[in-house]
Amino acid sequence: MTAKPRIVLSSDHSAIELRQAIAAHITERGWEAVDIGPMTPESTHYPEHGKAAAQRVVSGDCQLGIILCGTGQGIMMAANKVPGIRCGVCMDTFSARMIRQHNDANILSIGARVVGEGLALDIVDAYLDAEFEGGRHATRVAMIED
């Protein structure tokens, strides 16, 4: 049996509770959650948190990431500025599966003000359970990387 990858989690102040629920959920599933905060509700800047999580993934410290902000959009944009990151915002399980299967996404972004906890956990499960299909998709991912 192969070891489960380390998954970095980060958010801005708007998504602390959902991030912590996701961290507990993935830990229960046997994955290693690396929660890099923030831990207090003072206003923070999502670009800093998106970048910090993305750097953990590209460095190899963590193999995957889950990031959150109010809509999931801003933190996703910040993460995608880091070379080597392929991050998508998902508000449904189909999209979460597809960003892994077709885009080899290494970070999932969720909007804490858009989806509730139950759906968010289902989205996380769909993302983590999917695997990159390669083939024609590998050509397209290489084009993104270029």
Specify whether 62 is catalytic.
no
Which pLDDT score is estimated for 73? 98
Residue tagged active-site, from 69, 87, 90, 137: 69
Specify whether 102 is catalytic.
yes
Residue tagged active-site, from 13, 25, 45, 102: 102
Contact partners, residue 39, CB within 8 Å, separation at least 6? 16
Region for 72 from its dihedrals, namely left if φ exceeds 0, alpha if ψ lies in -120 to 50, beta otherwise: left
CA distance 38 to 29: 23
**Of 17-21, 110-114, 119-123, 134-138, the least confident:** 134-138
Which pLDDT score is estimated for 1? 46
Contact partners, residue 80, CB within 8 Å, separation at least 6? 54, 86, 87
Torsion of CA 78, 55, 144, 98, to 10 degrees: -80
Q: Is a pLDDT exceeding 80 seen at residue 7?
A: yes
Beta strands (DSSP E) in the chain are: 6-11, 32-35, 64-69, 87-89, 107-111
Which pLDDT score is estimated for 2? 62
CA distance 129 to 134: 16
User: Global pTM?
Assistant: 0.95
pLDDT digits (tens, 9 = 90+) for 96-128: 999 999 999 999 999 999 999 999 999 999 999
